[in-house]
Amino acid sequence: MESTYILAAVLLLVALFIIYSYNRLVSMRNMADKAYSNIDTLLQKRFDLVPNLVNTVKGYMEHEREVLESLTRARSEWLNASSIKENAGADQTGEKAIKTLFAVAENYPDLKANQNFMMLQEELAGIENKIAYARQRYNRTVMALNTMIQRFPTNLIARLFNFETREYFAVESERARSAPEINLQGGEEK
Amino acid sequence: MMDPIYGRIAANKRRTFFLFFLYALLFGAIGYFIGIYIGDPVVGIIMAGIIFVVLFLVSYYSGQNVVTKMAGAREVSKQEEPYLYNTVEALSIASGKPMPKIYIIETEVPNAFAAGRNPDNAIIAVTRGLMNRLDRQELEGVIAHEMAHINNYDVLLATVAIVLAGTIVFVSVIARRMMLFGGMGRGGGRRGGQGQIIMLLILLIVAILAPIFAQLLKFAISRQREYLADATAANFTGYPEGLASALEKITDQQVKNSPIENRALEGLYIVNPSLGARSGSRQSALFSTHPPAEERIKRLRAM
């Protein structure tokens, strides 16, 4: 008789643990999803500005064809990207292209005085910064999620309900936080 | 497994409750004595109760409005201040918290504060001087520090404490006035004797309690949470040096009689605006609402 109670208590504990872990996993997965959609929205905003930027700059930079082309190329790379890896790659190409463009723009005083260009520059500088933070946030949530999915005993529950580890939004060869420093005061590019 | 921040948030909510309880007691006591003065202690206590509830609701639901008015801050939109807006938005993304409203105080003294009852109803105010003096990474550090206060529910406690402390000061001023006028009006007669004694009692209570409450305010706006907010901020940005160098830049810039110098608000700012008013830095360590900036900078750089 007594052993039935003990068994019931153990079963109850196990059930509670499963419910708790399952809910944690769900909320962590949602957090990761939200963090990823943040990156996506920001990348969308950034690449939406590219045609506008190219048009503004074109008239001033006759001799910098390849800079502009690399921008357009990054945009189409992003448009065709589907996996996280491809998105991350397009993100990097775009980041580099924009950084180069603003560095080169330093040599064109007329361009730098252009009202439209100045607005685009602040807008993009803000977006680049936000993308860096969104990446960092996403990678952190993914790390927490992956850890929970891989650790014992939550890994059993993760397997039971088909939770899968996520891929990081990789930024190769740099620390997560060395956002492109686009200097707004018109100083030197770092 | 348990995040230390969660314990911190629970502790802050407990402290807010405790603070309220103490204020309620004080209001009740004052109401009681005023009640004796007007003839019925019960009426006094009921009146005090009503006033307290009103104050509570005001400070809870629109504390940030009171505080921004006191500080002379004005709300700005993205169009007006794209640079500031973008920076705050970036930190809101980094912390995964909702975007606070943004206010600007038009003064050259660099400083910043946050207010509000929870992350969904929060504001961040920065001075013009702060924006002019800091570069993007330093500004990010400061904003991250304020976001950390919001996130840790430090601002709920601070906002409520400021509104309540303000009323205590207000009551003490009224009490003093009443006694002054009472004293003059009845100078010749003997009838006012008892009333005056009671007013004197109230005054005495307020006089004794005011410093205690000032101390409580400092306990509430404890220095430990500044360190914690600094650490959380460093975690949000991943770059402690930004905040460290911002603190270094703005601490020395606090000036005497600056427009933002306000006793009631000093605990709220990232750097104590009354620093300039104090002659040496010796005395400030004990009484200050903030830990010394050098210590904060040292800890940030050690991260």
Which pLDDT tens digit goes with each residue over B184-202?
A: 444 444 455 666 677 677 6
For chain B, say whether A122 makes contact (Cβ under 8 Å). Answer: yes
Considering only A41-45, A114-118, B33-37, B181-185, which range has the smallest mean pLDDT? B181-185
In a domain, B297, yes or no: yes
CA distance B73 to A133: 28
What value does the mean pLDDT take over residues B74-97? 91
Bridge pairing between strands B112-116 and B122-127: antiparallel
Please name which of B246, B261, B252, B248 lies closest in space to residue B281, comparing C-alpha atoms: B252
CATH for the stretch A2-160: 1.20.1440.20
pLDDT at A11 over 60: yes
B146 carries an active-site annotation: yes
CB contact under 8 A, A177 and B238: yes
What value does the mean pLDDT take over residues B120-125? 92
The answer to whether residues B75 and B103 touch, using CB atoms and an 8 Å cutoff, is yes
Please state the pTM of the whole predicted model.
0.75
More confident residue, B195 or A77: A77
Domain boundary among B195, B220, B245: B220
Domain of residue B294 covers 84-154+223-301
For chain B, say whether A134 makes contact (Cβ under 8 Å). Answer: yes
More confident residue, B82 or A1: B82
Residue B149 shares a structural domain with residue B166 = no
Please name which of A123, A133, A173 lies closest in space to residue B137, comparing C-alpha atoms: A133
Residue B148 shares a structural domain with residue B90 = yes
For the stretch B40-59, pLDDT in tens is 888 888 888 888 888 878 87
Considering only the beta carbons, identify the residue of A122, A123, A133 that sits closest to B94: A133
Residue B91 shares a structural domain with residue B117 = yes
Which of A73-87, B181-195, B223-237, B275-289 ranks highest by mean pLDDT? A73-87
Task: Give the list of residues 6+ apart from residue A2 with CB closer than 8 angstroms, or none.
Answer: none
In a domain, B170, yes or no: yes
pLDDT at A175: 45
Chain A residues lying within 8 Å of B82, measured CB to CB: 122-123, 126
pLDDT at A190: 33
pLDDT at B16 over 90: no
CB contact under 8 A, A137 and B90: no
pLDDT at B52: 81
Considering only A98-107, A112-121, A161-170, B13-22, which range has the smallest mean pLDDT? B13-22
Which of A176-190, B49-63, B287-301 ranks highest by mean pLDDT? B49-63
